[in-house]
């Protein structure tokens, strides 16, 4: 017996919901920073070293929660006993400034169904642009072909133009003699 595929439709959130999520996330990030700051102050007051384990015992914050929050990670790195010792050892060797972690790509926050929806929308736009370009190219080719036809006709009629000019000049000469006005073109 085969299982049916459980295809979930991507959730569409309103702008108010997204705003609420952003607000909630920023509040939780700030709460993490405050818990870490309080734990570091308490550890300094107790004259204990600031380590991942001591911060966990003091505040319950795991390193993963600190690592995901750039502000908390920077605060932890400033006060970490191990990192301070490393900095003292390598101070004379260190030439480049301390590099913070690269910001995470915002597309990594999307779920696969959301990415598929966005990809399909972009593919439709691309297809429309390609269709417009092909129509424009066809129009340009037709115009170029018409120009070529007209140039061929003009080249065919060139001998007749010279003949007509000769006839005109003879007629003027016959009418006016040597005193005919200049030709106007």
φ, ψ of residue 36 in degrees (nearest 5) = -65, -45
**DSSP codes, the chain:** -PPPP--PPPP---HHHHHHHHHHHHHHHHHHHHHHHHHHHHHHHTT----HHHHHHHH---HHHHHH-HHHHHHHHHH-HHHHHHHHHHTTT--SPPPPPPPPPGGGGS-HHHHHHHHHHHHHHHHHHHHHHHHHHHHHHHHHHHHHHHHHHHHHHHHHHHHHHHHHHHHHHHHHGGGPPPP--
Q: What is d(CA 141, CA 134) in angstroms, rounded to the nearest whole number?
A: 10
Please check the confidence at residue 59 and state whether its pLDDT lies above 60: yes
Q: What is the pLDDT of residue 2?
A: 59
Q: Return the percentage of the chain with pLDDT > 90, whole number.
A: 30
Q: Give the tens place of pLDDT for each residue, 135-165.
A: 999 999 999 999 999 999 888 888 888 888 8
Q: Give the tens place of pLDDT for each residue, 64-116.
A: 988 899 998 888 888 887 777 777 776 656 555 666 777 888 888 889 999 99
Q: How confident is the model at residue 175 (pLDDT cuts 50, 70, 90)?
A: confident
Q: Which two tokens stand for residue 2?
A: 């085969």
Q: What is d(CA 112, CA 80) in angstroms, rounded to the nearest whole number?
A: 37
Q: What is d(CA 124, CA 94) in angstroms, rounded to the nearest whole number?
A: 51
């Amino acid at each position: 017996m085969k299982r049916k595929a459980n295809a979930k439709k991507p959730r569409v959130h309103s702008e108010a919901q997204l705003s609420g999520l952003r607000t909630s996330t920023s509040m939780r990030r700030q709460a993490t920073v405050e818990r870490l700051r309080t734990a570091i102050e308490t550890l300094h007051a107790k004259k204990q070293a600031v380590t991942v384990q001591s911060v966990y015992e003091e505040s319950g914050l795991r390193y993963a929660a600190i690592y995901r929050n750039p502000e908390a990670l920077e605060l932890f790195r400033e006060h970490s006993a191990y990192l301070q010792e490393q900095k003292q050892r390598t101070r004379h060797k260190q030439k480049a400034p301390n590099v913070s972690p690269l910001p995470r790509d915002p597309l990594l926050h999307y779920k696969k169904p959301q990415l598929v929806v966005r990809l399909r929308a972009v593919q439709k736009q691309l297809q429309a642009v390609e269709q417009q370009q092909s129509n424009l190219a066809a129009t340009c080719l037709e115009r170029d072909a018409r120009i070529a036809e007209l140039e061929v006709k003009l080249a065919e009629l060139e001998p007749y133009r010279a003949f007509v000019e000769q006839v005109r000049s003879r007629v003027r000469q016959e009418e006016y003699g040597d005193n005919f006005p200049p030709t106007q073109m």
